[in-house]
Structure 1
Amino acid sequence: MIKVLLAEDVQMVRGALVALLGLEHDIDVVASIANGDEIVPAVKEKEPNVAVLDIDLPGLDGLSAAAQIHDVAPGTRTLILTSLGRPGTLRRALDARVNGFILKDAPISQLTEAIRAVSVGRRVIDSQLALSAWDGDQCPLTPRELEVLRLTSEGADAMEIANTLYLSVGTIRNYLTTVTTKLEARNRIDAVRIARKSGWL
């Protein structure tokens, strides 16, 4: 049996997936989770073969959880199941060393086959998304610039970001100016919008 952990915050979707996966003779859903902060502890407790993770979760997001799983439980494979089918999102997923990436509008048969493939060490990526990622724009921002923009997108002001990253307020303002310029944005809010639309945040 392939032991699966499923992390999805929408209760109806999560329930439907658990029911559908339960019909498979070789798949056993050992944990069903709604909050990202519960993923890593559940992986340690249940030791699933595959963790199927949504990206946009309350608490820890699915990509951050996948990166942590890779470090603390290398025997657990990670499969991202998301509606965020943007090239930048796929690149972020690959940076987090996920083993698979498929879209939520795929048929259930594609999900079950992806789980089986990932469980034996193969990498599975939605073919159309892979092609669009190949053709898509690379993120022009450095990791530090992305971190500053991410904190901005969460509502933090320059002082709060400076305290979080142990930098001066002036340095944070310089980062935000650089980010706005690189993205050809009108202001910080527009920069956040552009980065989210591209899948970089």
Structure 2
Amino acid sequence: MYINTSHTPDKKNSYLNKFNKKRIQTTDKENKVQNLSNQSTNDDCKSQCDSVDYYRHENHELKRLVFQLKFEMKSQLESCLIEQKLNLKSVVQKYTSFIDELMTQKNQASSECDDWKQKCEQQQQIIEQQRQQIYNQSQIIQQNLFTIQHIQQEYQLELIQNQMEVQQIMNLKDQTIDELNQIFLQQQQ
């Protein structure tokens, strides 16, 4: 940003100091003139009055210069403020569009997150259902195993019982054969 430095604060202070100095000198001269008018002749008084007029004129010029300086500084300040306002406006627009873009990205990411969250919840429900099915099937398998073990035990008992019956039958057969052999022997004698 460019600022005209032809009337900087230092220059302004310099003008104001000159102005104050001239004003003090003018006031001193006026006081002297007043005193001299009471004490001296008309000619001395007239020369002092001319001097006072000169300083009044200088004072008037200094006031005009200060006014002009103030006006120029005000114009420069206004143009500077307008330029800064335009710069600020462009910066605000830039960051507004940047924030809008970020908000759009945030909304898209939020929407995607909601979709993924919903999919995840659905997958968790499916997994929970499958886990329940697996648990139910494991219970059924456990019951079937108990049933099979029970059947095996019954089969073993029945097999043992059948073996005992067979053994009894075999014993009976052997006994019958022995008896028949004895009868046959007795008949042969």
Whether TM-score is above 0.5 comes out as no
When the two structures are superposed, what TM-score results if normalisation uses the length of structure 2? 0.18
Structure with more relative contact order (C-alpha pairs < 8 Å, separation 6 or more): 2
Q: Judging by fraction of residues, say which structure has more helix.
A: 2
Computing the radius of gyration from Cα coordinates, the structure with the larger value is 2
Q: Judging by fraction of residues, say which structure has more strand.
A: 1
When the two structures are superposed, what TM-score results if normalisation uses the length of structure 1? 0.18
